[in-house]
């Protein structure tokens, strides 16, 4: 069985969509561990409720990123795929190299447009008519790795960050489990910047 580690920073609704896909039998994988960089966040409760090992590795208790990542790495032994699900930290190039091709992220915009920590705000300020979400492999840049799946969502004239993010989240909860399933089935082939989806 493919072993996942899911890294989160907050609410954990993307994590929940993965838990639900596993529980429904749609996704044949197991979550070995959920790790958060903050204490008392909902992602920890969601993991606990699902009977999944969960650990807070509080970034604030570490002097530097290297020590913080060393502690994360200790908990990733035997993990096949690391899934970033609302994990709001940039991982070091060393960490990314270790999990090259085995590290996924979801971002709430149609990359390469609107990378970074404030995608919805940036989308609304810019005035684009279509946004969405992107699942991609992580490379050493920010939100710049090879794209696996995307879903488009219309931006409405009266959208706020809350209404837009809620509609995009619905799509995130569809495409993230689907992308992980493709990985589990061995159907993702990275060719340069491209991710080819092999026939099943
Ligand atoms: C999601 O919208 C995810 O795309 C975004 O954080 C949210 C987490 O929600 N991730 C990023 O912005 C990463 N740069 P959740 O905690 O309910 O899963």
Query: Using CA positions, which residue lies closest to atom 3 of ligand 1?
Result: 86
Nearest atom in ligand 1 to the alpha carbon of residue 16 is 18
**C-alpha of residue 168 to centroid of ligand 1, in Å:** 10
pLDDT digits (tens, 9 = 90+) for 168-185: 999 999 999 999 999 999
Query: Using CA positions, which residue lies closest to atom 1 of ligand 1?
Result: 86
Counting as low any pLDDT under 70, the low residues of the chain are: none
Measured CA to CA, the distance from residue 81 to residue 101 in angstroms comes to 9
Burial class (CB in 10 A: 0-12, 13-18, 19+), 97: exposed
Place of tokens 């580690």: 5
Measured CA to CA, the distance from residue 5 to residue 59 in angstroms comes to 18
**C-alpha of residue 87 to centroid of ligand 1, in Å:** 7
pLDDT at 117: 94
Reference 17, options 121, 100, 135; nearest CA is: 135
């Amino acid at each position: 069985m493919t072993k996942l580690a899911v890294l989160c920073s907050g609410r954990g609704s993307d994590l929940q969509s993965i838990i639900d896909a596993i529980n429904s039998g749609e996704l044949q994988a197991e979550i070995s561990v959920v790790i958060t960089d903050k204490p008392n966040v909902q992602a920890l409760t969601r993991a606990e409720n699902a009977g999944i090992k969960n650990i807070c590795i509080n970034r604030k208790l570490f002097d530097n990123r290297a020590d913080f990542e060393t502690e994360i790495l200790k908990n990733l032994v035997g993990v096949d795929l690391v899934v970033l699900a609302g994990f709001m930290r940039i991982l070091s190039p060393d960490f990314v190299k270790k999990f090259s091709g085995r590290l996924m992220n979801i971002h709430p915009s149609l990359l390469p447009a609107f990378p970074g920590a404030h995608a919805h705000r940036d989308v609304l300020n810019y005035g684009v008519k279509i946004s969405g979400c992107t699942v991609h492999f992580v490379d050493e840049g920010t939100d710049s790795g090879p794209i696996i799946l995307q879903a488009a969502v219309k931006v409405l004239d009266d959208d706020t960050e809350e209404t837009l993010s809620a509609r995009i989240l619905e799509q995130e909860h569809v495409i993230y489990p689907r992308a992980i399933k493709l990985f589990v089935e061995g159907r993702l082939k990275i060719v340069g910047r491209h991710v080819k989806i092999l026939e099943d």
